[in-house]
């Protein structure tokens, strides 16, 4: 379940300043592009940062599953926000494992151990009894899907989203 969910969540990459709204890749998750000035998405990122203490509480919750942080990666080719799972919080520092292969930021690949700069966190999430906690950028992108895409996402992810 954990691997499947993280693969599904990997479709929610966030790329700033790209022309296309949706990039489909063979054998890789779809990338949904969002402009860096997108007010709704920026509000979701701000909310995620303001509530990061709730994610930290989730790290201590034995019922919490699929804990992940969405992290911004940037190079000269662009910016991608990707999910990092298997989160460890030690001595005030986060680290984890990158869940997918990037499209633009080729310095990293799926499975790499990532030390996370807290200023680069753009979202957080975990599940408890199938209910999504956090996932603010997921909710924005899900709300932008067509009804058919939303139904498919809900069925594949198995998440309860308020």
Q: How far is CA 81 from CA 19, 40, 61, 90, in A?
A: 16, 16, 26, 23
Instruction: Give the predicted TM-score (pTM) of the model.
Output: 0.82
Q: How far is CA 7 from the centre of its chain?
A: 10
pLDDT tops 60 at residue 11: no
The pLDDT confidence band at residue 30, using thresholds 50, 70 and 90, is low
pLDDT digits (tens, 9 = 90+) for 108-157: 999 999 999 999 999 999 999 999 999 999 999 899 888 998 998 898 88
pLDDT in tens, 33-67: 565 677 999 999 999 999 999 999 999 999 999 99
């Amino acid at each position: 379940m954990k691997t499947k969910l993280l693969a599904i969540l990997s479709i929610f990459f966030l790329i700033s300043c790209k022309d296309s709204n949706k990039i489909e890749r063979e054998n890789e998750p779809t990338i949904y592009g969002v402009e860096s000035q997108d007010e709704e998405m920026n509000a979701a990122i701000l909310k995620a940062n303001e509530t990061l203490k709730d994610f930290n509480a989730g790290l201590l919750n034995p019922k919490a599953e699929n804990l992940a942080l969405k992290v911004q990666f940037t190079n000269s080719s662009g910016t991608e926000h990707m999910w990092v799972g298997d989160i460890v919080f030690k001595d005030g520092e986060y680290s984890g494992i990158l869940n997918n292969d990037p499209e633009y930021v080729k310095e990293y690949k799926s499975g790499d151990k990532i030390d996370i700069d807290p200023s680069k966190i753009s979202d957080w999430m975990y599940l408890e009894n199938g209910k999504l906690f956090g996932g603010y950028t997921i909710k924005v992108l899900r709300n932008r899907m067509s009804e058919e895409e939303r139904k498919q996402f809900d069925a594949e992810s198995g998440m309860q989203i308020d």
